[in-house]
Chain A
Amino acid sequence: MKSVIKNFKISAMALSTGSITKSYIEDGLARDIPRAKLERMSKTIGLNIRKTVTNNITTLDLCEDASRRLLKSQDVDIASLDAIIFVTQTPDFSQPNNASLLHGRLGLNEDVMAYDISVGCSGWVYGLHQAAMLCAHSGLGRVLLCAGDTLSQLTHPQDQSIDPIFGDAGSATLVERSGDGKDVYFMFGTVGGMSSAIKVPAGGAREPFSLKTKNETKDEFGNINTPENLQMNGADVFNFTLREVPQAIRSVMALANYPISEVDALVLHQANKFVVQTIAQNTGFDLKNVPNTVFEKYGNQSSASIPCVLIDSLGSQLSNKPMKVVACGYGVGLSWAAFAGEIGPIALCPVQPYPRP
């Protein structure tokens, strides 16, 4: 699906992470995993530090903190907000949605539209597209886009294939109607036939939690999980990524008529260091134009990872000048979402943990 939207801009962004710092090597040694094995994984995949939440903190809390910091830093009158879009797969409840809960917490006007989008690692681009459409075509002035997840709370601690990967984060992005008229190009793709490659089998209407869903199983590599945990077939997800994502990036660049030489940065969902590096190589980008440090500093932050790259890796440039950016999120669905456009300057609040010490 292709879409071209103009007359909107990203004005400000903020991101809050969990407050617990976990070290892959230290945690692995505590589990009696040999140091050589840990260092091999760390070197190749980029497993290092990740930030996770304490048990009582949710995605809603992280996004509320990011939103409050953003609104305060820009002195935004909350009465000027027209909509909240909340992208998450780890909502507080199945009902009501997180957007309504955040609406209540922030004390917004009753004529504000508030809805969730259930997408994971490709979600921020989905949310940006929705916010841009509302601003450009529905006459809304300001949309608050929140995106994040706390996937560390869904993994089984003895599933070493995915438990060490995920960090928790919530982002806030202020999208506004603008008259600058520059086109931003979006493309989306879904491979629903591979949906079981990333899945939490239990807890929904199809298979509610029960004694049966607490049964542990062990895979061929000794990893343990239950149907209540996040499960990922890494080989099939990587297969999807190699097949779909480089082509998606080339397609959105062709749609935008962007040659590689004109792109300031390729911003990728930070699945892990190896995957980002592989996509960069397959698309012909110089690695210096593909930020790839967020995973090592924070872990895989699901739909908050692209905002984290924009703030943490590109912030010094993006806060001062416009940049031609190509971005692509990819993951659960399986789905991908890409955009190409000139964004910035953006007012950026630094990445901070929540709660703060």
Chain B
Amino acid sequence: MIKQTESLVRLQKDVDCFLSATLDTPLATLPQWDSLAVLLVISHYEANYKIQLNSRQIHECKTVRDLLNLIPTQ
């Protein structure tokens, strides 16, 4: 099972707005959390986990941890 910290490191490589984020950082406080970041997150999840996120799933996430909780546990 991949730890959430490892998943965050992966995410940080693909989506620049997470570079200084921790698991508890609220998404709304990320300076570059915008429509482009959302596309990059969807692309990252598809490429790394074969998950196709929709807008509702993303909008329900309040923190980085919530976003990473969308990755299914093995």
Could you list which residues of chain A lie within 8 angstroms of chain B, going by C-beta atoms? Answer: 37, 40-41, 44-45, 161, 220-221, 223, 233-236, 238-239, 242-243, 274, 278, 282
Contacts and interface: CB of A to CB of B under 8 A. Distances in A.
Contacts, number: 44
Interface of B: 16, 32, 34-36, 38-40, 42-43, 46, 52-55, 58-59
Please name the 8 residue pairs, one residue from A and one from B, whose CB atoms are nearest each other, closest first: A235-B55, A161-B35, A236-B55, A239-B54, A243-B52, A242-B46, A239-B52, A235-B38
A242 B34 CA distance: 20
B42 A221 contact: no
Interface centre among A45, A234, A239 (most CB of B within 10 A): A239
Contacts of A235: 35, 38-39, 42, 53-55, 58
A221 B36 CA distance: 11
A236 B36 contact: no
A239 B53 contact: yes
B42 A44 contact: no
A40 B35 contact: no
A41 B59 CA distance: 21
Given A239-B42, A239-B54, 5 more contacts: A45-B36, A233-B55, A235-B35, A235-B39, A274-B39
A233 B57 CA distance: 13
Given A233-B55, A243-B52, A238 B35 contact: no
A159 B35 CA distance: 11
A39 B32 CA distance: 13
Nearest to A222: B34
28 contacts: A37-B32, A41-B36, A44-B36, A44-B40, A45-B36, A220-B59, A223-B35, A233-B55, A234-B35, A234-B39, A235-B38, A235-B39, A235-B53, A235-B54, A235-B58, A236-B54, A236-B55, A238-B42, A238-B43, A239-B42, A239-B53, A242-B42, A242-B43, A242-B52, A243-B52, A274-B39, A274-B43, A282-B46
B35 A278 contact: no
Contacts of A238: 39, 42-43
B15 to A, nearest CB: 10
A37 B36 CA distance: 10
